């Protein structure tokens, strides 16, 4: 199984290492022809407005939208969650997304870089107890459509109850960065999603 990691900007190397540790063949994707060669894709954290511009520059925006619409399994973390959203609040007026998940996401909802934090998140369908989640200028989900499964919420602190993990069909998104923790459960879950989709 070949899982691409969108390598335009952000934490793509960390995702590639995590996927390799889960038994997948992880490859960088920067061009449409590279997208055609993968069974699934990870959209990493980073800066969603920059990622949006680079996706247009590298002619990936429309090809990826089509792949998502046709059922390509995709996982997005942090900025990747924003890029999978149907609606983005507090984004730039010219910001584009790949879409796919019927949800409204607020950019930088938890605050600025200095307000980054770690906190426990219970994720349904993933065993092993709460996930020690890393939030860096993270979004949260304010609203979901009827086909979206809410998988995780913040369990403590002032943001308790906020939605930070969702799934819709072959699409998975988290507001946090599992690639930075050494806990491979989210990546294993995604790899299993890809196997089942195949």
Q: Is 179 a catalytic residue?
A: yes
Whether the CB-CB separation of 175 and 142 falls below 8 Å is answered with no
Q: Is 177 a catalytic residue?
A: yes
Give the Cα separation of 11 and 43 in Å (integer). Answer: 9
What are the C-alpha distances in Å from 103 to residues 83, 140, 173?
11, 10, 11
Selecting among 15, 96, 179, 187, the annotated active-site residue is 179
Selecting among 14, 22, 96, 177, the annotated active-site residue is 177
Selecting among 14, 15, 22, 78, the annotated active-site residue is 78
| Residue 26: both structure tokens together | 């992880």
Q: Is 22 a catalytic residue?
A: no
Residue 117 class from Cβ within 10 Å (0-12 exposed, 13-18 middle, 19+ buried)?
middle
Catalytic residues: 78, 177, 179
């Amino acid at each position: 199984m070949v899982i691409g990691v969108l390598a335009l900007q952000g934490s793509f190397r960390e995702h590639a290492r995590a996927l390799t540790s889960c038994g997948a063949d992880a490859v960088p994707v920067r061009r449409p022809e590279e997208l055609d060669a993968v069974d699934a894709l990870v959209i990493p954290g980073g800066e969603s407005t920059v990622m949006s511009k680079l996706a247009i520059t590298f002619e990936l925006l429309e090809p990826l939208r089509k792949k998502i619409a046709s059922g390509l399994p995709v996982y997005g973390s942090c900025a990747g969650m924003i890029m999978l959203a149907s609606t983005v609040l507090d984004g730039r007026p010219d910001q584009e997304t790949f879409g796919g998940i019927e949800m409204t996401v607020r950019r930088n909802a938890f605050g600025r870089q200095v307000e980054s934090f770690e906190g426990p998140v219970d994720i349904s369908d993933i065993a092993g107890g709460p996930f020690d989640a890393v939030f860096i200028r993270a979004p949260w989900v304010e609203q979901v459509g009827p086909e979206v499964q809410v998988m995780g919420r913040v369990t403590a602190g002032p943001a308790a109850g906020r939605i930070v993990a969702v799934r819709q069909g072959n699409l998975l998104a988290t507001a946090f960065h599992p690639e930075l923790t050494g806990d491979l459960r989210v990546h294993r879950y995604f790899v299993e999603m890809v196997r089942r989709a195949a």
